[in-house]
């Protein structure tokens, strides 16, 4: 038989018993809808938590720490060890596969003064050429730091709190000092020691102020690393004593979040302590996988019931078409064609049910996302995050699985149909 013949006979048989066909397809539709919508909820929760982590910090950023902690089995205690972080390590880290940017980090404390107001802040030195790799916020005013203007500072929106040391101060979000327009002075005197000498101030050079954001950069001040090193060597008593420079930490930017763990393991193998926001993704992913397994299992039960419905429909069809099968055999129709015909009909029921279930899933997903602000708070997501996400791979997989369920459910009825003897079938009434 040709494919056209299968299609004509298959659709004709299904339409002849259209009520039974529709009811069976509805069962498949409910099963498909259940499994798709359940998995879409789990996927949305995972994406929501990933977005929240991304808001707190860069997911592709690895921080290599100078101080590491490990458990000593002999003493049964946690032990701290210090590793020297220098330019050689920076170069070594930059050569690791999937690493796109590396910058040393060095902190220098300072005191700022503007009129009667003062502020204490920690200035972080970084390589200006790597700003693009670490998701720095846009500049609300001014510009980013650069080696062309090494003494200029880049401020986070809430980096410094200016107060009046001789007056009452209200802790609010409005700073009394305009960083870009007011005259501000800076000093490092009296920061690292308790000398009573009068601090010497110099004019502060401000490059720009970043826009408001929810990361640590909102509370930080940045300067080119070369200037930070110069200040550190000049004012930090620790360097004056040891004449040795070790960076506070090193930031490593990875090309993709999926490669962070691999790069992190390589750095740890070198003996360094690391941290990244992606560390939290493992816990989130484990919870998500468990949740999707539970939700998918609930939907799979409905799909299993629908599979039984397809098998029952095809078996009933055999009993009703026994004489027809006998005629097909007498006319010379081969056994494989009869099997293929029944499998074709079963797959069409699966396809029809899967399509209806998928359309229903998209409809319900749209409604859920429309009312996301009300529903999101109930499951721990922010109001602007989707409640249900149906990626294309899930839609295609669900449709393919529905067709597969139809074919598998039709295997036994198809085999049973081929076992009917032509002579006995011709004797059947009807």
Please give the pLDDT value at position 126.
96
- The 10 Å CB-count burial string (b at 16+, else e) for 122-136 is ebbbbbbebbebbbb
Rounded CA-CA distance 108/239 in Å is: 12
Burial class (CB in 10 A: 0-12, 13-18, 19+), 427: exposed
Whether this prediction's pTM lies above 0.75 is answered by: no
Please give the pLDDT value at position 166.
79
Please give the pLDDT value at position 26.
86
Task: Name beta bridge partners: 250.
Answer: 64, 104
Please give the pLDDT value at position 335.
64
Q: Is the sign of the CA dihedral 214, 219, 223, 226 positive or negative? A: negative
Question: Is 62:267 a contact under the CB 8 Å cutoff?
Answer: yes
> Which single residue is written with the structure tokens 């004012």?
235
Phi, psi of 156 (to 5 degrees): -75, 160
Please give the pLDDT value at position 194.
58
DSSP 8-state code for residue 391: -
Please give the pLDDT value at position 332.
60
What are 320's two structure tokens? 């009703």
Q: How far apart are the first and last CA of the chain?
A: 25
Please give the pLDDT value at position 423.
56
Please give the pLDDT value at position 385.
72
Ranges of residues in the chain whose predicted pLDDT is under 70: 1-10, 52-57, 68-81, 168-174, 192-197, 318-335, 372-384, 414, 416-430
Please give the pLDDT value at position 17.
77
DSSP for 346-400, please give it.
HHHHHHHHHHHHHHHHHHHHHHHHHTHHHHHGGGT--TTS-S----HHHHHHHHH
Rounded CA-CA distance 315/345 in Å is: 12
Please give the pLDDT value at position 161.
86
Please give the pLDDT value at position 173.
58
Closest C-alpha to 285, from 35, 47, 55, 61: 47
Distances in Å between the Cα of 316 and the Cα atoms of 243, 321, 376, 429 are 91, 9, 46, 16
Question: Is 45:288 a contact under the CB 8 Å cutoff?
Answer: yes
Please give the pLDDT value at position 291.
75
Question: Is 136:288 a contact under the CB 8 Å cutoff?
Answer: no
């Amino acid at each position: 038989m040709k494919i056209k013949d299968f299609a004509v006979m298959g659709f004709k048989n299904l339409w002849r018993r259209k009520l039974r066909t529709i009811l069976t397809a509805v069962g498949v539709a409910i099963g498909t809808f259940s499994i798709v919508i359940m998995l879409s909820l789990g996927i949305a929760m995972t994406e929501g938590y990933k977005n929240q982590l991304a808001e707190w910090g860069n997911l592709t950023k690895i921080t290599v720490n100078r101080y590491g902690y490990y458990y000593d089995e002999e003493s049964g205690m946690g032990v701290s060890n210090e590793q020297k972080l220098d330019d050689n390590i920076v170069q070594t880290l930059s050569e690791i596969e999937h690493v796109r940017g590396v910058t040393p980090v060095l902190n220098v404390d300072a005191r700022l003064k503007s009129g009667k107001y003062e502020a204490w802040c920690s200035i972080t030195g970084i390589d200006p050429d790597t700003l693009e790799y670490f998701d720095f916020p846009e500049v609300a005013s001014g510009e980013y730091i650069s080696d062309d203007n090494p003494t200029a500072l880049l401020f986070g929106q809430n980096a410094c709190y200016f107060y009046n040391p001789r007056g009452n101060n209200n802790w609010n979000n409005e700073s009394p000092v305009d960083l870009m327009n007011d005259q501000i002075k800076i000093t490092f005197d009296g920061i690292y020691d308790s000398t009573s000498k009068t601090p010497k101030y110099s004019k502060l050079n401000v490059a720009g102020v970043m826009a408001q954001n929810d990361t640590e950069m909102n509370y930080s001040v940045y300067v080119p690393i070369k200037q930070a090193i110069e200040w550190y060597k000049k004012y930090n008593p620790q360097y004056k004593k040891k004449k040795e420079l070790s960076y506070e930490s090193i930031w490593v930017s990875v090309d993709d979040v999926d490669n962070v763990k691999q790069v992190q393991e390589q750095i740890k193998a070198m003996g360094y302590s690391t941290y990244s926001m992606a560390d939290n993704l493992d816990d989130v992913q484990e919870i998500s996988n468990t949740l999707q397994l539970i939700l998918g299992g609930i939907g799979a039960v409905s799909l299993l019931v629908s599979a039984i419905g397809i098998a029952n429909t095809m078996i009933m069809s055999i009993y009703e078409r026994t004489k027809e099968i006998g005629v097909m055999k007498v006319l010379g129709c081969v056994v494989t064609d009869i099997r293929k015909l029944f499998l074709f009909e079963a797959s069409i029921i699966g396809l029809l049910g899967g399509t209806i279930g998928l359309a229903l899933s998209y409809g319900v997903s749209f409604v859920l996302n429309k009312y996301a602000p009300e529903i999101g708070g109930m499951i721990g997501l922010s109001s602007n995050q989707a409640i249900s996400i149906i990626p294309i791979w899930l839609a295609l997989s669900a449709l393919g699985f529905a067709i597969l369920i139809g074919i598998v459910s039709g295997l036994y009825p198809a085999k049973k149909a081929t076992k009917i003897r032509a002579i006995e079938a011709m004797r059947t009434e009807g």
